[in-house]
């Protein structure tokens, strides 16, 4: 248990450092306020010359207070650790880091990549960095609106405000690009890259296809009974998960056995269990 806790804290710490690098090297110097508490902090930094990390920490205090009041004491040590350590890392690293580019597109892209990877690691290892996701969760208790919608509204408001404050519609548009990249990478880190494929196979010869999969690919399959709504015919549906390199071979196996099989092929982002990745 202690080993897992240390492992998770190390993961959150790595995520915090990556996020701080993205902010300090790309987003803050280029005035790209890509939503969230960090976006508000960047606006305040240029308005009243307050350090971004310090502003983030101050802004998160009332958010945590509201969260405790509305949601209870379940945020945990990792959330507090992630929030404080990110604020400290942003200000501590800033004086020592270069600013590789002032091209807004490059800054938005690379800043989004680093922040997305960083927050992805933080979330993957059971941490948070406070911010607008906490605000959205609190607002949901009052409004009942979907958290994703609330996050979008909050971030959009911050981006529009930044565009007005910095008198630049371009900065707002680059911030939106950064938000999309960040969100995509957060999901990618948590769900994993799509390296496997899932086959759903509907056939009149499921037993033969199952045997061919085991013999030809050394993979398993799961079968469950189903009934066609249009035909009313009872059939078995097979589920088999394979690596990308095995996709063509499995198609050949299926259609060599049953040329009339109905097959659905889908991306699988993570597979845990025998023959694939072990859960740690």
pLDDT at 13 over 80: yes
pLDDT value of position 72: 61
pTM over 0.85: no
Instruction: Tell which phi-psi region holds residue 150, choosing left (phi > 0), alpha (psi between -120 and 50) or beta.
Output: alpha
For the chain, give every domain's residue range.
2-191, 196-268
The radius of gyration of the chain from alpha carbons, rounded to an integer in Å, stands at 24
What is the spatial distance between Cα 206 and Cα 215, in angstroms, rounded to a whole number?
14
pLDDT 10s digits, 59-83:
988 877 776 676 565 556 667 788 8
pLDDT value of position 64: 78
Instruction: Tell which phi-psi region holds residue 216, choosing left (phi > 0), alpha (psi between -120 and 50) or beta.
Output: alpha
Determine the CATH number of domain 196-268.
Answer: 3.30.70.120
pLDDT value of position 92: 95
pLDDT 10s digits, 198-251:
899 998 889 999 999 988 888 888 898 888 888 888 888 999 988 877 888 899
């Amino acid at each position: 248990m202690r080993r897992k806790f240390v492992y998770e804290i190390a993961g959150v710490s790595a995520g915090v450092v990556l996020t701080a690098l993205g902010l300090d090297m790309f987003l803050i110097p280029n005035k790209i306020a890509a939503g969230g508490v960090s976006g508000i902090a960047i606006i305040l930094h240029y308005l009243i010359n307050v350090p971004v990390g310090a502003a983030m920490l101050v802004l998160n205090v009332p958010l945590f207070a509201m969260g405790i009041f509305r949601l209870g004491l379940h945020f945990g040590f990792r959330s507090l650790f992630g929030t404080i350590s990110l604020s400290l890392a942003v200000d501590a690293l800033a004086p020592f880091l270069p600013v590789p580019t002032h091209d807004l597109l490059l800054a938005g892209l690379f800043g989004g990549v680093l922040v997305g990877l960083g927050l992805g690691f933080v979330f993957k290892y059971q941490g948070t960095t406070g911010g607008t996701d906490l605000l959205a969760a609190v607002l949901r208790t009052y409004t009942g609106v979907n958290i994703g919608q609330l996050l979008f509204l909050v971030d959009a408001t911050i981006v529009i405000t930044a565009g007005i404050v910095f008198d630049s519609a371009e900065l707002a548009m680059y911030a939106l690009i950064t938000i999309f990249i960040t969100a995509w990478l957060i999901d990618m880190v948590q769900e994993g890259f799509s390296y496997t494929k899932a086959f759903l196979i509907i056939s009149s010869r499921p037993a033969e296809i199952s045997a061919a999969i085991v013999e030809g690919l050394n993979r398993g399959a799961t079968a469950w009974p189903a009934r066609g709504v249009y035909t009313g015919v009872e059939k078995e549906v097979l589920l088999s998960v394979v690596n990308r390199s095995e996709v063509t071979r499995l198609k050949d196996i299926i259609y060599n056995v049953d040329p009339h099989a109905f097959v659905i092929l889908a991306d699988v982002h993570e597979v845990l269990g025998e023959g694939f990745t072990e859960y740690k």
